[in-house]
Amino acid sequence: MLPYAFLAAALLPILALAQDGGISGPTTSPDALGYSCDPTKCQLPNCNCASTSPPGGLKPSEVPQFIVFTADDAIQSYTLDSVNQFLAQRKNPNGCPIKMTYFTSLSFTNYTLVTDWYVAGNEIADHTMTHVGTPPAEEINGNLITLNALAGIPLSAIKGFRAPFLNYSVETLQLLYKSQFTYDSSAAASIPVTDPNTDAYWPYTLDNGMANDCLEVPGQCKGQPKLPGFWEIPMYAFFDNLGVAGPHLMDPWLDAANGDSKVNDTATLEYMQNTFTAHYNGNRQPIGLYTHPIHLSTTYPGVNAPMSTINMINAFLDWAQEQPNVWIVSNEQLLDWVQHPVPVSQLNQVESLKCTTPQVDASAKICNGIPGNEEGLLSHCAFSDFPFYTCYGCPTEQPSPANPNPPQDTSNGQAMRHRLPSNCSTPFWDPIAGNCLCNSQTCTFTDNSRAIGPNGANLTGGGTGGSFNQPSQTPTNQYIPFNGAAPPSLLPMGAYPAIILAVIGALIGTIGVASNL
Ligand SMILES: [Zn+2]
């Protein structure tokens, strides 16, 4: 067990820092925008103009209403408990469990839980190593390297970034582009969809520059920065009775509504429903619950989470899910649909919305992010300020931006663990034996290497720590995420029998989609 009392004290500064993400009014204006984009030249899937209309020319009535669910900061048992109290009991219209995006920072993160959360099908994204705004490259790339080394997350699976405090610059976006991220989600959609000047655009690429936060970020908008194929997924604010003067972006339930001085859950629920309805009855731009889960944890010592607020959020999600064609998704799932938009009648064909389960023998003793398999196999890395567990061997020192992948510590006599190589998938990789459980063509995976890391090294993962330049096996196939997030062309139905396409879930899904339309 972790020393909770000590962690509680140590986490207090993070708690204060976590009160980020507030906006108090519009972050852009028509004058500051200066945006132009030719939709005949900018076409899906790799280019999309900033637009309030749904992608692919679909009518709003043909479009699902997506609710994006994200969490930020360290991953610990009590933050996952907090997320689970909103999502674990829910399913999407296709019968699949809800997936979400966790923007993970590494101070106080327990790496084994990152592995588990990823293997359960959630998206792990980058939130810098030590939670700094306008981060240098080492903070952004170091997060990728450490999550790959100590949590076994494939480099290609870490696609997204959110800036701590939503504090980013043009340079931040350029760094993300250089490190081959797929998207950023730090910018605010700060004007209601009912306003003719709304900045609630569907996710778009920066081929023609940014179109959000034009008043906030120097050098942004009017065509800048041009980053072809790189996406912005705006964060969509809720608005209370004050309209454009009453935006609520992250953790809206922590704010007082309507200019009042005290938080009132009833008032929060009302404006969240009103904003949802405006999106739902309009162009169906996504809406988002952008959470710092520690505020709502009932298992974190020293945090007295208000049950009324937890119940209110669940009431909101219950209410939203009662309406047809509402899906709760991760950013990765949203973006996949935006790149390949299909009407709601065809959603049962969208691979990224399906649920897949890695087929690993329940009795196998393998440290792979599945709690039943990995029991008793975790290494405890007893660093004094924040201890953690991992499948992949303790480092000699805590990872830092200067050294995100320290060598393994074998001074206690433990054998070296093998890090995830580029051609195996997290649930199938045995880091103790250094063996991929599935070596056949049907379940061999290859990671797309990406140009990240110190000195622009072309990193592929693998090895045993201390260096990322020792790919241990020759890549063979395109890397296929087990959660089905690959483009359809890469994952034909039935082509990968080792990955169960959640047979029951898919069946229910087919029926569910059909009966809900
Ligand atoms: Zn944060």
Give pLDDT tens digits for 338-392: 999 999 989 888 888 888 777 788 899 999 999 999 999 999 999 998 999 999 9
Mean pLDDT value across the chain = 84
Q: Is the pLDDT of residue 450 over 80?
A: no
Instruction: State the distance from the centre of ligand 1 to the C-alpha of 243, rounded, in angstroms.
Output: 26
Percent over 70 (pLDDT), the chain: 81
Give residue 347's pLDDT.
87
Return the bridge partners of 388, or none. Answer: 381
Give residue 476's pLDDT.
38
Instruction: State the distance from the centre of ligand 1 to the C-alpha of 155, rounded, in angstroms.
Output: 21
Instruction: State the distance from the centre of ligand 1 to the C-alpha of 251, rounded, in angstroms.
Output: 12
Instruction: State the distance from the centre of ligand 1 to the C-alpha of 74, rounded, in angstroms.
Output: 8
Q: Is the pLDDT of residue 503 over 80?
A: no
Q: How far apart are CA 102 and CA 273, in angstroms?
A: 24
Could you tell me if residue 423 is inside a domain? no
pLDDT per residue as tens digits for the range 391-448: 999 999 999 999 999 999 988 788 899 999 888 889 999 999 999 887 655 564 444 4
Could you tell me if residue 409 is inside a domain? no
Q: How far apart are CA 517 and CA 508, in angstroms?
A: 14
Instruction: State the distance from the centre of ligand 1 to the C-alpha of 164, rounded, in angstroms.
Output: 4
The 3-state DSSP class for residue 132 equals: coil
Q: Identify residue 196 by its one-letter amino acid code.
A: P
Tell me the CA end-to-end span of the chain in Å, nearest whole number: 47
Instruction: State the distance from the centre of ligand 1 to the C-alpha of 50, rounded, in angstroms.
Output: 26
CB atoms within 10 A of CB 258: 13
Could you tell me if residue 242 is inside a domain? yes
Return the minimum-mean-pLDDT range out of 57-71, 386-400, 457-471.
Answer: 457-471
Instruction: State the distance from the centre of ligand 1 to the C-alpha of 358, rounded, in angstroms.
Output: 31
Q: Are 22 and 249 in contact (CB under 8 A)?
A: yes
* Total structural domains within the chain: 1
Could you tell me if residue 223 is inside a domain? yes
Instruction: State the distance from the centre of ligand 1 to the C-alpha of 406, rounded, in angstroms.
Output: 24
Instruction: State the distance from the centre of ligand 1 to the C-alpha of 174, rounded, in angstroms.
Output: 20
Q: Which DSSP helix (H) or strand (E) runs through 230? A: strand 227-232
Instruction: State the distance from the centre of ligand 1 to the C-alpha of 133, rounded, in angstroms.
Output: 9
pLDDT per residue as tens digits for the range 239-262: 999 999 999 999 999 999 999 999
How confident is residue 477, by pLDDT bands cut at 50, 70 and 90?
Answer: very low
Instruction: State the distance from the centre of ligand 1 to the C-alpha of 320, rounded, in angstroms.
Output: 26
Q: How far apart are CA 204 and CA 187, in angstroms?
A: 12
Instruction: State the distance from the centre of ligand 1 to the C-alpha of 20, rounded, in angstroms.
Output: 7
Q: Which two tokens stand for residue 163?
A: 């800036």
The 3-state DSSP class for residue 388 equals: strand
Question: What is the β-pairing status of strands 458-459 and 450-451?
Answer: antiparallel
- 459-482 burial, b if ≥16 CB within 10 A, otherwise e? bbbbbbbeebeebbeebeeebbbb
Could you tell me if residue 376 is inside a domain? no
Q: Is the pLDDT of residue 167 over 60?
A: yes
Instruction: State the distance from the centre of ligand 1 to the C-alpha of 19, rounded, in angstroms.
Output: 8
Q: How far apart are CA 344 and CA 50, in angstroms?
A: 22
Instruction: State the distance from the centre of ligand 1 to the C-alpha of 103, rounded, in angstroms.
Output: 8
Residues 6+ apart with CB under 8 A from 53: 202, 283
Could you tell me if residue 91 is inside a domain? no
Burial bucket for residue 395 (CB in 10 Å: 0-12, 13-18, 19+): buried
Range among 9-23, 71-85, 298-312, 430-444 rated most confident: 71-85
State the average pLDDT over residues 8-26.
Answer: 54
Name the more confident of 374 and 483.
374
Residues 6+ apart with CB under 8 A from 33: 211, 214, 221, 222
Give residue 472's pLDDT.
40
Instruction: State the distance from the centre of ligand 1 to the C-alpha of 15, rounded, in angstroms.
Output: 9
Instruction: State the distance from the centre of ligand 1 to the C-alpha of 21, rounded, in angstroms.
Output: 8
CATH number for position 220? 3.20.20
Q: Are 115 and 102 in contact (CB under 8 A)?
A: no
Instruction: State the distance from the centre of ligand 1 to the C-alpha of 53, rounded, in angstroms.
Output: 30
Instruction: State the distance from the centre of ligand 1 to the C-alpha of 107, rounded, in angstroms.
Output: 11
pLDDT per residue as tens digits for the range 270-324: 999 999 999 999 999 999 999 999 999 998 888 788 899 999 999 999 999 999 9
Could you tell me if residue 153 is inside a domain? no
Instruction: State the distance from the centre of ligand 1 to the C-alpha of 85, rounded, in angstroms.
Output: 20
Instruction: State the distance from the centre of ligand 1 to the C-alpha of 17, rounded, in angstroms.
Output: 7
Instruction: State the distance from the centre of ligand 1 to the C-alpha of 52, rounded, in angstroms.
Output: 28
State the average pLDDT over residues 263-274.
Answer: 97
Could you tell me if residue 150 is inside a domain? no
Instruction: State the distance from the centre of ligand 1 to the C-alpha of 349, rounded, in angstroms.
Output: 35
User: Domain of 237?
Assistant: 23-72+162-353
pLDDT per residue as tens digits for the range 91-144: 998 888 999 999 999 999 999 999 999 999 999 999 999 999 999 999 999 999
The 3-state DSSP class for residue 463 equals: coil
Instruction: State the distance from the centre of ligand 1 to the C-alpha of 434, rounded, in angstroms.
Output: 35
CA dihedral 409, 14, 401, 179 (to 10 degrees): 120
Residues 6+ apart with CB under 8 A from 6: none
Query: What is the pTM assigned to this prediction?
Result: 0.85
